[in-house]
Amino acid sequence: MKDSSDVQAIVAEIRDAVRKSVAPPYASETIPLALHEPCLQGNENAYVKECIDTGWVSSVGKFVDRFEQELADYTGMKRAVAVSNGTAALHIALLLAGVEAGDEVLVPALTFVATANAVSYLGASPHFVDSEDVSLGMDAETLDRYLSSTVMLRDGHAFNKSTGRRISVLLPMHTFGHPVDLDALTAVAEKYHLTLVEDAAESIGSFYKGRHTGNFGRIAALSFNGNKTITTGGGGALLTNDEDLGRHAKHLTTQAKVPHAWEFVHDAIGYNYRMPNINAALGCAQLEELDGFLRAQRALADRYERAFSPIQGIRFVKEPPYTRSNYWLQAICLEGADLEMRDAVISGLHAANIFVRPAWRLLYKLPMFENAPRMDCAVAERIEASLINLPSSVRLGERVETRDADEP
Amino acid sequence: MKDSSDVQAIVAEIRDAVRKSVAPPYASETIPLALHEPCLQGNENAYVKECIDTGWVSSVGKFVDRFEQELADYTGMKRAVAVSNGTAALHIALLLAGVEAGDEVLVPALTFVATANAVSYLGASPHFVDSEDVSLGMDAETLDRYLSSTVMLRDGHAFNKSTGRRISVLLPMHTFGHPVDLDALTAVAEKYHLTLVEDAAESIGSFYKGRHTGNFGRIAALSFNGNKTITTGGGGALLTNDEDLGRHAKHLTTQAKVPHAWEFVHDAIGYNYRMPNINAALGCAQLEELDGFLRAQRALADRYERAFSPIQGIRFVKEPPYTRSNYWLQAICLEGADLEMRDAVISGLHAANIFVRPAWRLLYKLPMFENAPRMDCAVAERIEASLINLPSSVRLGERVETRDADEP
């Protein structure tokens, strides 16, 4: 822990770099900068009004169909199924990937709690994996080394030698929109007979080697929560390139009802995970704006990067090579920080009207997961202690068009 | 099975009775009558627009707080927690009522599949109960007789003598809005040490002996799906008179996040069952209309009752004594019908532009529940074969005000 004058100096440097980077209307120190606010300035009102005026607000309707088709088109995938939120999408993705009660699922230690909760819903246990510094997500190299000593292969499945349980799925998450190294993780999944499922909750608009995230595993989960790049109020989607799996996903998320003109027949234990039409209407309007949002987020990242580059001891988190990130949440790392210093800097920035946040507490530190299996997570520990997310609302990046025009 | 000319005669009688009962604009045979369409003609657009214009569309917001408070006030209960749908509400209600994996939960054979699915989500098994003819819901008398021979009491719990499993919860459902006999079922629950939970998904606006349904068990579940008395697009709520339980319900449905200015700490496996603010905005507008909706539904029930009373062999389903029903779905029973005849009548009515439906297929006839324990369900079988739900949209009842004024 540095002393308090050091902390004050760091806070001042970050404050100045942030105010210098945001769009001019937000440069004043008196304006509070939220972490991530939705931008609802397109056809949101018109589409939602159409739902209300026509009475189509609920779980079927043209905006649900359209949103699903447009998501599939945008991501270049065969099928998208809109659901009630990202957690629901993860739950069904894991169910369809074959996770069974008693299994273990490899999830990052550094992720939002929903990733591990979805594993628990199936009676399986998360098994936590360390991060690497570039993408902040799973480190394929150390994971491979860890699995080579931890896992026994038998009958085409991987078993944890300590617990005896099957490890069925590898579930990387694209942290703050930055794609993990999918080629390297795909190789690990193949080597250990794991099904790859992508937690793409944060990565709509993020591409790995030119293909949208979600295309690399068996099935993927998106989120459209209010703080995400685009929002449906609450919502999520499943993405897959397997049409049978897509049909099955639609069936299970709509209470496994068998189509019939009037009979209520259901052929499996299903889930009420449908996205209402009124929420899909928001989603359709937001998708129309997505390209502009991504331009704004990337322009803000550019300016943050330039503003922070002269500052000693602070690293701006850039998209990994071979990727194009949505920069959903902008982030910096304070070199050599500990949790106490991180919190002191966050407090100082809040006092300066800049509402930053830390990464999530590592999941194995939460009481319900403290006994879950895990590898050594030294890198994730370091990221947890040093990372601060900066204000990332679309409007903060929006001066991109004018600036580009002004510049020589 | 009657012959086809009999079926045609029955179809004609029902068709004429329905057209005679609905509000005048819908009396023409050329107008299709849906089963239940939402009525969104109050402040829905204004409130939803406010959410979009202010950016508060997601999982917190003033409409969520207001909707919860107004639901509590309306039902006369201490706490309401808005959630993503009725199934989610049932899931958490059962979890909070103490259902554990391996338990059995007493549910009606005649109900929507979500009642039993929610039991399955907890690793418990539904145990199906027969209906009685008046409320269409659980029959306390035959249930008591059945349990007296089926159950063994030990250490303050009931155990199924055949399966050895604990029976922890009694979960009646208020079918189509008609309250079950709650006093009698409460007595059964007490006698066998069962926790009473009310599936009130269909019964907002329905009262038993002057108190709103939901007040009688430990916790209750409401639904605001698009076909319900009031809708939030998709949505539901938990109701309880135990403030601690209400706080716990809010915590578990909001991912068990511990309040903190910036830290992401969660102290249990939680669920993302939050109702978005934009859906709660719809709910607030709909609640303002609820009294009018109930007047319209009851007026329609009145007219249906009068229209069907002269018709031999058809019984209009009236609210049970001591109750005030919301008449969510109007229903008739065809005396002596079998499933084949019921379906022939439904087909005939569809051809006449009247979109009726049967009750649900009894749940133990669905593949995933066919091996679940159950009592003899002769009454439910009879109801299944004979019941037809009639068009029940609010607008069909709306002539009540003018008619009252016109009548002497």
Are B117 and A269 a contacting pair at CB < 8 A? yes
Q: From A267, which residue of chain B is nearest by alpha-carbon distance?
A: B367
Alpha-carbon dihedral A100, A105, A111, A113, rounded to 10 degrees: 30
Q: Indicate the residue type of A9.
A: A
- Could you give the CA distance from residue B58 to residue B52 in angstroms, rounded to a whole number? 10
| Chain B residues within 8 A of A51 when measuring between CB atoms | 233
Best residue of B85, B111, B266, B282 to probe chain A, by most A CBs closer than 10 Å: B266
| Chain B: closest CA distance from residue A256 (Å) | 10
| Chain B: closest CA distance from residue A400 (Å) | 22
Angle subtended by helix axes A182-191 and A140-150, to nearest 10: 10
Percent pLDDT > 90 in chain A is 94
Are B262 and A367 a contacting pair at CB < 8 A? no
- Could you give the CA distance from residue A183 to residue A347 in angstroms, rounded to a whole number? 39
A57 vs B40, B55, B367: nearest CB: B40
When pLDDT is cut at 50, 70 and 90, the band that residue A399 belongs to is low
Q: What residues are paired with B50 via a beta bridge?
A: none
Q: Is the dihedral of CA B57, B59, B65, B69 positive or negative?
A: positive
When pLDDT is cut at 50, 70 and 90, the band that residue B3 belongs to is confident
- Could you give the CA distance from residue A276 to residue B283 in angstroms, rounded to a whole number? 14
| Chain A: closest CA distance from residue B119 (Å) | 10
Q: Indicate the residue type of A172.
A: P
When pLDDT is cut at 50, 70 and 90, the band that residue A398 belongs to is confident
**Confidence check: pLDDT of A381 > 50:** yes
| Chain A residues within 8 A of B271 when measuring between CB atoms | 87, 117
- Could you give the CA distance from residue B230 to residue B41 in angstroms, rounded to a whole number? 12
Let me know how long chain B is.
408
Q: From A269, which residue of chain B is nearest by alpha-carbon distance?
A: B117
Beta strand A104-108 with A125-129 is parallel
| Chain B residues within 8 A of A92 when measuring between CB atoms | none
Best residue of A64, A253, A266 to probe chain B, by most B CBs closer than 10 Å: A266
- Could you give the CA distance from residue A201 to residue A231 in angstroms, rounded to a whole number? 11
When pLDDT is cut at 50, 70 and 90, the band that residue A1 belongs to is low
B234 vs A38, A58, A350: nearest CB: A58
| Chain A residues within 8 A of B112 when measuring between CB atoms | 264
User: The tokens of B89 are what?
Assistant: 């509400």
Q: From A52, which residue of chain B is nearest by alpha-carbon distance?
A: B40
Give the side-chain half-sphere CA count within 13 A for A204.
Answer: 30
| Chain A residues within 8 A of B267 when measuring between CB atoms | 366-368
| Chain B: closest CA distance from residue A161 (Å) | 26
| Chain B residues within 8 A of A367 when measuring between CB atoms | 267-268
A231 vs B57, B265, B368: nearest CB: B57
Are B267 and A48 a contacting pair at CB < 8 A? no
Q: What is the pTM of this model?
A: 0.95
**Domain residue ranges in chain B:** 4-38+290-406, 44-286
Write out pLDDT tens, residues B120-145. Answer: 999 999 999 999 999 999 999 999 99
User: The tokens of A6 are what?
Assistant: 């050091």
B226 vs A45, A57, A227: nearest CB: A57
Q: Indicate the residue type of A355.
A: F
- Could you give the CA distance from residue B54 to residue A39 in angstroms, rounded to a whole number? 10
Per-chain mean pLDDT for chain A: 95
**Confidence check: pLDDT of A280 > 80:** yes
Section A55-68 average pLDDT = 92
- Could you give the CA distance from residue B328 to residue B163 in angstroms, rounded to a whole number? 37
SS (H, E, C) chain B: CCCHHHHHHHHHHHHHHHHHHCCHHHCCCCCCECCCCCCCCCCHHHHHHHHHHHCCCCCCCHHHHHHHHHHHHHHCCCEEEEECCHHHHHHHHHHHCCCCCCCEEEEECCCCHHHHHHHHHCCCEEEEECECCCCCCECHHHHHHHHHHHEEEECCEEEECCCCCEEEEECCECHHHCCCCHHHHHHHHHHCCCEEEEECCCCCCCEECCEECCCCCCEEEEECCCCCCCCCCCCEEEEECCHHHHHHHHHHHECCECCCCCCCCECCCCCECECCHHHHHHHHHHHHHHHHHHHHHHHHHHHHHHHHCCCCCEEECCCCCCEECCCCCCEEEECCCCHHHHHHHHHHHHHCCECCEECCCCHHHCHHHCCCCECCCHHHHHHHHHEEECCCCHHHHCCHHHHHHHCC
- Could you give the CA distance from residue A4 to residue A341 in angstroms, rounded to a whole number? 9
The per-residue pLDDT for A60 is 84
Are B276 and A234 a contacting pair at CB < 8 A? yes
| Chain A residues within 8 A of B275 when measuring between CB atoms | 234
Q: What residues are paired with B257 via a beta bridge?
A: B266
Are A264 and B113 a contacting pair at CB < 8 A? yes
- What is the CA angle B376-B379-B381, rounded to 5? 80
For tokens 């990937």, name the residue.
Answer: A97
Are A123 and B123 a contacting pair at CB < 8 A? yes
When pLDDT is cut at 50, 70 and 90, the band that residue A4 belongs to is confident
CB A30 within 8 A of CB A353: yes
User: The tokens of A355 are what?
Assistant: 């509402």
A234 vs B45, B59, B346: nearest CB: B59
Burial pattern A203-215, b for ≥16 Cβ within 10 A else e, equals bbbbbbeeebbbb
| Chain B residues within 8 A of A44 when measuring between CB atoms | 52
Q: From B393, which residue of chain A is nearest by alpha-carbon distance?
A: A55
Per-chain mean pLDDT for chain B: 95
Q: How many CB atoms lie within 10 A of CB A25?
A: 11
Are B272 and A88 a contacting pair at CB < 8 A? yes
The per-residue pLDDT for A5 is 84
Write out pLDDT tens, residues B238-264. Answer: 999 999 999 999 999 999 999 998 999
One of 1.20.140.10, 3.90.1150.10, 1.10.274.10, 3.30.420.10 is the CATH number of B4-38+290-406, namely 3.90.1150.10
User: The tokens of A383 are what?
Assistant: 């990221």
Interface pTM (ipTM) of the complex? 0.94
Are B40 and A58 a contacting pair at CB < 8 A? no
| Chain A residues within 8 A of B358 when measuring between CB atoms | 262-264
**Chain A / chain B CB contacts < 8 angstroms:** 193
| Chain B: closest CA distance from residue A360 (Å) | 5
A269 vs B231, B257, B368: nearest CB: B368
CB A104 within 8 A of CB A158: no
**Confidence check: pLDDT of A2 > 70:** no
| Chain B residues within 8 A of A84 when measuring between CB atoms | 84-85, 234
CATH architecture for residues A4-37+290-406: Alpha-Beta Complex (3.90)
One of 2.60.120.200, 2.40.128.20, 3.40.720.10, 3.40.640.10 is the CATH number of A44-286, namely 3.40.640.10
Write out pLDDT tens, residues B85-100. Answer: 999 999 999 999 999 9
Q: From A389, which residue of chain B is nearest by alpha-carbon distance?
A: B262
Are B234 and A114 a contacting pair at CB < 8 A? no
The per-residue pLDDT for B58 is 84
Give the side-chain half-sphere CA count within 13 A for A100.
Answer: 3
A231 vs B58, B84, B120: nearest CB: B58
Fold equal for A4-37+290-406 and A44-286: no
Q: From B42, which residue of chain A is nearest by alpha-carbon distance?
A: A52
φ, ψ (nearest 5 deg) of residue A155: 50, 40
When pLDDT is cut at 50, 70 and 90, the band that residue B399 belongs to is low
| Chain A residues within 8 A of B117 when measuring between CB atoms | 255, 269-272
Q: From B55, which residue of chain A is nearest by alpha-carbon distance?
A: A38
Closest CA to B186 of B177, B178, B195: B195
| Chain B: closest CA distance from residue A84 (Å) | 8
Q: From B112, which residue of chain A is nearest by alpha-carbon distance?
A: A264
SS (H, E, C) B166-181: EEEEECCECHHHCCCC
Are B269 and A117 a contacting pair at CB < 8 A? yes
Are A45 and B49 a contacting pair at CB < 8 A? yes
User: The tokens of B116 are what?
Assistant: 């039993």
Q: How many CB atoms lie within 10 A of CB B263?
A: 15
- Could you give the CA distance from residue A197 to residue B338 in angstroms, rounded to a whole number? 48
**Confidence check: pLDDT of B386 > 60:** yes
Write out pLDDT tens, residues B307-344. Answer: 999 999 999 999 999 999 999 999 999 999 999 999 99
CB A140 within 8 A of CB A190: no
Write out pLDDT tens, residues A87-145. Answer: 999 999 999 999 999 999 999 999 999 999 999 999 999 999 999 999 999 999 999 99
User: The tokens of A16 are what?
Assistant: 């100045």
| Chain B: closest CA distance from residue A42 (Å) | 10
| Chain A residues within 8 A of B263 when measuring between CB atoms | 358, 361
Q: How many CB atoms lie within 10 A of CB B295?
A: 16
Are A269 and B120 a contacting pair at CB < 8 A? yes
CB A311 within 8 A of CB A335: no
B52 vs A44, A55, A277: nearest CB: A44
